[in-house]
């Protein structure tokens, strides 16, 4: 019980935090394409849905890949770039909260504090800062001046290289203005956030028919995720029909409408899979528990057969005998659960302190904070998970006790009280 | 013997047990009748079927053939629930080896039949009464000082008196005693017999099984079993 409570609390907490971080990073719904070409007429669609009564906010996003070179350092590295309007994007996602220097004024996210006139960029925190072994980042008091040269291959609406035969790549220098800490390892170590229009220019998505990769949407409070996504999908379907005869309309066919869960399925599924595997493992432990309880009760019944005979001789019914053993099993499950849950709660309460002490004295860490995007170990007990664990523990005791109880009930008093049986 | 006086009646009781390949006949057509307020001793040699007969009379066992009727009601026609009620309310068993529950105190052992006859809520309501009644019985049996002791802390005679107290808890119509003195020395056994005599004088019907003719003499009537039949 203790182990189940601790492990399930930690894994459930990790999955819950991971989902929450993904939700915050994406918003509720995404209308987008995986094609690097993007899709056009997004402004028309945004205008249309912004007036809908279930929409809280909408943000146009350009996503692409780039080569990034720090002007003061040797070599370059690959990165994913995300072009956004920081204010609009913060209405839809938790982008504003992920910033460090511009947290309180998201509109200035792309204005480097050392020179607001320069084109700024926000860098995923793990791309910029190093975590110490306790998982803390050593933030600067104010952003250091650094120029990042971002190079992209601009593509035409047909997917061809827009600058074939010439320079091939578009390069623009952005100045480091802030870091973004989304608490998603893959995101914080890969993404660089740039102003939307600049990103469109870099990717060849500007021009008379501007294109983007995605529209991130946030629903009004109370709107169910599935309902909201269905409504957006219906609106998008109608919109595509209307734009059928327009230029580049074929690009709209590559666009899908997904909830944030579907959009991040590949990442969430891996975590959920681990949780499911742990649940299965504990279910197997549960089966073993049933067997152990069965053996214990079988022995109790064998040992107490005379007592069962005595009870039957004074008129106790078979059902009463089953009830008696079941009540005993119930109390055993309940008391075991209570003790296990209490010890689990106590351990979880101090789990981070225990880990700190273990790290301080023995260098042991459950997760290496320099590698994993985990801060404190989640230790908030989910009351529903706890209730399910307690109910299953009691059920396991009752299930294990059932057959021996039935056997006890079937004992014949006259046989168990025979002199030869004593 | 008037028909109304008979409390327990057995007619043509047969019972046999399988022992390996063979079938051993224990009762081969037993007929007997016990009147209200009687003290009957059933005697016979070891293996004559005395205990089997007593178990059948108390509905702890079923005959292969024959009828046992209690106050005119055929036990074989009773359902499981009625039989449990019969064992709880109408009959009190006293066994040779006392058969007390070691985990319970003497007092708890005595009020156990009252507890068994109530549900959880019924028991909560009658707990005080049951404890009082059990205390009274222990007082009558000279065990007041031993009420909170565990059975294994008592002597053989005290344990048997506690077992008698348990048998009397629900004021049964008939007391069935299976070799109640068989495990006791002569003096202690006599003490138990005195208890039975006292109970019988107060109107309690008693059927006692014993192999000891001397003890059987204390009863009002002796029935002898031999070769599975009443002699």
What per-residue confidence (pLDDT) applies to A422? 44
Say how far apart CA A378 and CA B111 lie, in whole Å.
Answer: 53
Tell me the range of A128-137, A310-319, B14-23 where mean pLDDT is highest.
Answer: A310-319
**What domain count does chain A have?**
2
A123 and A155: one domain? yes
Angle A155-A161-A163 from CA coordinates, rounded to 5°: 105
Does the distance separating the beta carbons of A422 and B116 come in below 8 Å?
no
**Residue that the structure tokens 């995300």 belong to:** A82
**Structural domain includes residue A193:** yes
A141 inside 8 A of chain B by CB = no
pLDDT bin (cut points 50, 70, 90) of residue B3 is low
**Structural domain includes residue A2:** no
Nearest by CB to B80, which of A310, A317, A422? A317
Does the distance separating the beta carbons of B96 and A314 come in below 8 Å?
no
Does the distance separating the beta carbons of A314 and B93 come in below 8 Å?
yes
A400 and A320: one domain? yes
* Residue where one domain finishes, among candidates A254, A286, A303: A254
The per-residue pLDDT of chain A, averaged, comes to: 87
What per-residue confidence (pLDDT) applies to A357? 87
**Structural domain includes residue A8:** no
Mean pLDDT over B207-231 rounds to 88
Nearest by CB to A315, which of B100, B101, B117? B117
* Residue where one domain finishes, among candidates A225, A254, A283: A254
- Return the SS3 of B92: strand
**Structural domain includes residue A234:** yes
Per-residue pLDDT tens over the stretch A62-106: 999 999 988 888 888 889 999 999 999 999 999 999 999 888 888
What per-residue confidence (pLDDT) applies to B112? 92
Say how far apart CA B223 and CA A405 lie, in whole Å.
Answer: 40
In terms of pTM, does the model score above 0.80?
no
Rounded to a whole number of angstroms, the distance from the CA of B200 to the nearest CA of chain A is 21
**Structural domain includes residue A324:** yes
The per-residue pLDDT of chain B, averaged, comes to: 89
Does the distance separating the beta carbons of B166 and A314 come in below 8 Å?
yes
Residue B179: DSSP 8-state: S
User: Which residue in A has a C-alpha nearest to residue B56's C-alpha?
Assistant: A414
What per-residue confidence (pLDDT) applies to A165? 65
* pLDDT higher at B85 or A76: B85
Please name which of A189, A184, A24, A170 lies closest in space to residue A91, comparing C-alpha atoms: A24
A169 and A141: one domain? yes
Per-residue pLDDT tens over the stretch A124-159: 988 888 877 777 788 888 888 889 999 988 887 777
Does the structure show a pLDDT above 70 at A206?
yes
pLDDT bin (cut points 50, 70, 90) of residue A215 is very high
What per-residue confidence (pLDDT) applies to A363? 76
Catalogue the E-assigned strands of A45-119: 55-70, 76-84
Number of inter-chain CB pairs under 8 A, A vs B: 51
For an interface test with A, the pick among B55, B99, B151 (most A C-beta atoms closer than 10 Å) comes out as B99
Residues of chain A with Cβ-Cβ distance to B95 below 8 Å are 313, 417
- Return the SS3 of A76: strand
Rounded to a whole number of angstroms, the distance from the CA of A411 to the nearest CA of chain B is 12
A309 and A241: one domain? no
Q: Counting Cβ atoms within 10 Å, is residue A142 exposed (0-12), middle (13-18) or buried (19+)?
A: exposed
- Phi, psi at residue A249, to the nearest 5°? -60, -25
**Structural domain includes residue A263:** no
User: Which residue in A has a C-alpha nearest to residue B83's C-alpha?
Assistant: A315
Q: Are A341 and A386 in contact (CB under 8 A)?
A: yes
3-state helix, strand, coil in chain A (%, to 5): 50, 20, 30
User: Which residue in A has a C-alpha nearest to residue B91's C-alpha?
Assistant: A314
Per-residue pLDDT tens over the stretch A378-409: 888 888 888 888 899 899 999 999 999 999 99
A103 and A134: one domain? yes
B183 inside 8 A of chain A by CB = no
- Domain assignment of residue A329, given as a range: 269-421
Catalogue the E-assigned strands of A142-274: 147-152, 170-180, 191-195, 211-212, 214-219, 256-259
A284 and A376: one domain? yes
**Structural domain includes residue A310:** yes
What per-residue confidence (pLDDT) applies to B208? 93
A69 and A126: one domain? yes
A78 - beta bridge partners?
A67
Say how far apart CA B149 and CA B102 lie, in whole Å.
Answer: 10
Nearest by CB to B85, which of A312, A315, A422? A315
A203 and A340: one domain? no
For an interface test with B, the pick among A304, A305, A314 (most B C-beta atoms closer than 10 Å) comes out as A314
Does the structure show a pLDDT above 70 at B167?
yes
* Residue where one domain finishes, among candidates A254, A279, A313: A254
A179 and A323: one domain? no
A201 and A238: one domain? yes
A379 and A250: one domain? no
ipTM for this model = 0.90
Say how far apart CA B197 and CA B202 lie, in whole Å.
Answer: 9
**Structural domain includes residue A189:** yes
Interface of A with B in 294-353 (CB under 8 A): 306-307, 309-318, 320
A195 and A276: one domain? no
From residue A264, give the alpha-carbon distance in Å to each of A88, A259, A277. Answer: 21, 9, 20
């Amino acid at each position: 019980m203790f182990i189940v409570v601790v492990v399930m609390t930690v894994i459930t907490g990790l999955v819950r935090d991971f989902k929450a971080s993904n939700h915050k990073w994406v918003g509720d719904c995404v209308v987008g394409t995986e094609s690097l070409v993007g899709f056009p007429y997004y402004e028309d669609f945004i205008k249309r849905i912004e007036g809908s009564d279930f929409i809280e906010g909408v943000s146009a996003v350009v996503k692409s890949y780039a080569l990034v070179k720090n002007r003061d350092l040797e070599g370059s590295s690959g990165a994913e770039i995300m072009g956004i309007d920081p204010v609009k994007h913060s209405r839809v996602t938790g982008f504003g909260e992920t910033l460090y220097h511009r947290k309180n004024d998201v509109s200035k996210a792309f204005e480097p504090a050392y020179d607001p006139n320069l084109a700024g960029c926000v860098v995923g925190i793990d791309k910029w800062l190093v975590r110490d072994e306790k998982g803390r980042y050593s933030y600067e008091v104010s952003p250091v001046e650094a120029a990042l040269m971002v190079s992209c291959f601009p593509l035409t609406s047909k997917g061809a290289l827009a600058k074939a035969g010439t320079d091939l790549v578009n390069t623009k220098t952005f100045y480091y203005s802030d870091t973004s800490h989304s608490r998603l390892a893959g995101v914080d170590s890969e993404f660089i956030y740039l102003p939307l229009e600049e990103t469109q220019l870099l990717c060849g998505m500007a021009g008379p028919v501007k294109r983007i990769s995605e529209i991130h949407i946030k629903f009004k409070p109370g709107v169910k995720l599935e309902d909201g996504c269905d409504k957006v999908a219906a609106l998008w379907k109608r919109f595509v029909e209307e734009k059928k005869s327009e230029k580049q309309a074929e690009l709209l066919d590559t666009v899908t409408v997904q909830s944030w869960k579907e959009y991040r399925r590949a990442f969430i599924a891996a975590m959920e899979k681990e949780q499911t595997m742990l649940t299965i493992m504990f279910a197997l432990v549960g089966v073993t528990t049933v067997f152990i309880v069965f053996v214990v009760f079988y022995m109790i019944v064998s040992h107490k057969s005379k007592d069962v005979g005595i009870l039957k001789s004074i008129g106790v019914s078979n059902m009463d005998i089953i009830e008696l053993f079941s009540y005993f099993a119930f109390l055993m499950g309940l008391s075991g659960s209570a003790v296990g849950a209490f010890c689990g709660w106590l351990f979880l309460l101090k789990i981070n302190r225990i880990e700190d002490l273990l790290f301080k004295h023995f260098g042991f860490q459950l997760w290496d904070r320099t590698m994993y995007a985990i801060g404190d170990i989640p230790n908030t007990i989910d009351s529903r998970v706890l209730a399910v664990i307690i109910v299953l523990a009691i059920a396991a005791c009752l299930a294990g006790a059932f057959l021996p109880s039935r056997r006890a009930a079937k004992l014949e008093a006259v046989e168990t009280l025979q002199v030869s049986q004593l | 013997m008037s028909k109304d006086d008979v409390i327990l009646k057995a007619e043509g009781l047969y019972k046999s047990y399988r022992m390996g390949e063979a079938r051993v006949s224990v009762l081969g057509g037993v007929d007997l009748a016990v009147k209200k307020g009687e003290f009957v001793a059933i005697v016979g040699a070891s293996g004559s079927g005395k205990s089997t007969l007593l178990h059948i009379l108390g509905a702890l066992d079923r005959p292969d053939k024959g009828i046992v009727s209690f106050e005119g009601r055929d036990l074989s026609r009773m359902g499981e629930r009625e039989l449990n009620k019969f064992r709880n309310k109408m009959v009190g068993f006293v066994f040779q080896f006392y058969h007390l529950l070691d985990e319970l105190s003497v007092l708890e052992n005595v009020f156990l039949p009252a507890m068994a006859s109530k549900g959880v809520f019924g028991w909560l309501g009658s707990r005080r009464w049951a404890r009082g009644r059990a205390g009274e019985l222990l007082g009558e049996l000279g065990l007041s000082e031993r009420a909170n002791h565990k059975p294994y802390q008592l002597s053989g005679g005290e344990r048997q008196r506690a077992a008698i107290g348990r048998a009397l808890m629900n004021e049964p119509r008939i007391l069935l005693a299976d070799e109640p003195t068989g495990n006791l020395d002569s003096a202690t056994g006599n003490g138990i017999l005195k208890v039975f005599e006292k109970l019988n004088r107060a109107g309690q019907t008693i059927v006692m099984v014993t192999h000891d003719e001397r003890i059987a003499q204390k009863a009002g009537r002796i029935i002898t079993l031999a070769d599975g039949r009443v002699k």
